[in-house]
Amino acid sequence: MPLFTIQNEFRYEITRKIFEGGMGIVYEAEQHGARNFVKRVAIKIIRPNFASQKMFIENFVGEAKLVADLIHTNIVQTYHLGEANGVSFIAMELIRGVNLEQFTHQLVEKKRTLPKELAVFITSRVARGLAYAHNKTDKDGKPMGIVHRDVSFKNIMIAFEGDVKLTDFGIAKAKGFLTDQEGEVVAGKPDYMSPEQADFQITDKRSDIFSTGVVLSNLLIGRNIFKGATAEESRNRIMNQPIPDFRSLDSRIDDRLNDILHHCLARDLAHRYATADQLLTELEFYIYGSGYGPTNETLGKYIRELFGQEPVKSAPSRPHMKTIVLDASEHLKKTSS
């Protein structure tokens, strides 16, 4: 029995929009507490056109509950699930940085090639986050069976300090948390899906490993080999296109790295890495086996230089902020119109 119960209403003030996706919008906000306490957070809200649909609400709430106890340096942390004026929102860790899609666009813009070791390092941090999520158990010690199902460039963040963070468990599969129509409906980004995911089959954690292999190959050669002109073409390539010898696509890729890629992208599950832990071990041995290798600080220095130290515009001054506890619905109407 607790010694006392704390009852308190969180107050958030939205400062700017960070990202707008297919079903959700993410804002930067300030969380205010007692004695002038202020913490900067990210606020995720369902897009207005989905906010009245029961399944989306249930999965939005399910996502918040699922990731509440996923506390790991390579996963974006969730702080609070709230509701204001009928609008559900999730308060999350604010990442000062960019996602991999923005990161690679900047590489192209600056005519830079990502060093091979940094590509492997970024992927190894994704594998660390996945290994933790895949192995997560509930309060009774039973496996939760988490499968992310949406490992992709847009859902991998790099902070300007060099931390790599996996985010958006919105279509993740886990026991008892989210409404799942797997086998009937295909979910995820077509050019990052595993073959079994693209083929409407039931997935397990090995599906995320295939997607991680797509991320690694994309970082190394600068393009997604499975991306087609349409979602259907991408899914067809995922299921049928021969996996290339990556050494012929980039001379920096040696035998060992080529082998790692082929083990990630094996369509036969028996030949794919069985766990994210196995993939993590292979990747870390590749970059650290002969001595010193890249670190968060190495990556942080690289990304800060790439983006010119101050890539994010400063937030609007306080008079323009909106208080989510008071007028979240009004704010959404304005931004969606």
259 is catalytic: no
Of 150, 168, 180, 191, the catalytic one is: 150
Cα distances (angstroms) measured from residue 124 to each of 1, 38, 88, 173, 334: 42, 33, 34, 22, 40
Tally of CA atoms within 13 A in the half-sphere of 112 that contains its CB? 17
Whole-number Å distance between alpha carbons of 279 and 266: 13
Whole-number Å distance between alpha carbons of 294 and 302: 11
Whole-number Å distance between alpha carbons of 302 and 115: 10
User: What values do phi and psi take at 261, rounded to 5?
Assistant: -60, -40
For 78, the enclosing helix (H) or strand (E) is strand 78-84
Catalytic residues: 150
